[in-house]
Amino acid sequence: MAKVIILLIGLVLVTSHNRLRFDMAKKEYFDYVWMLGFRWGEGDHFDRIEYLFLKRNRMRQNMNSMMSSSTIHMNVYDGYLRISEKNKIHLLTSRNKETVMKKLKALASILNVDILDYTDREA
């Protein structure tokens, strides 16, 4: 019985991932988690896709052991899709700015929108 439960948990972990779907004709998007063929998430309407943008954030990772602990601080780069002034969708995160920019450029060419780089504005 335990093997079946572990197998099911592993199957769920392997098959689940985030998806973002756009219907440009209906001006709708759906942001959801796909797991074993089922979708959980939310959708909404949009007037237009305004732009993509890149932002730098600080990430902190705590590492603990029996005798000591340490904290690592690092920069990560997040790519977003701006749909309206109030609505943005997080697309991806990486420690490498070029990785995020390459993926945003590919998406920008499909959507025919600009990419704004906010990483230079931040301290």
Per-residue pLDDT of the chain (123 residues; tens, 9 = 90+): 888 888 878 877 777 778 888 888 898 988 888 887 778 888 888 888 899 999 998 888 788 887 888 888 888 999 999 988 888 899 999 999 999 999 999 999 988 999 999 988 754
- 3-class secondary structure for the chain? CHHHHHHHHHHHHHHCEEEEEEECCCCEEEEEEEECCEEEEEEEECCCCCEEEEEEEEEEEEEECCCCEEEEEEEEEEEEEECCCCCEEEEEEECCHHHHHHHHHHHHHHHCCEEEECCCCCC
Give the pLDDT score at 122.
Answer: 54
Give the pLDDT score at 91.
Answer: 92
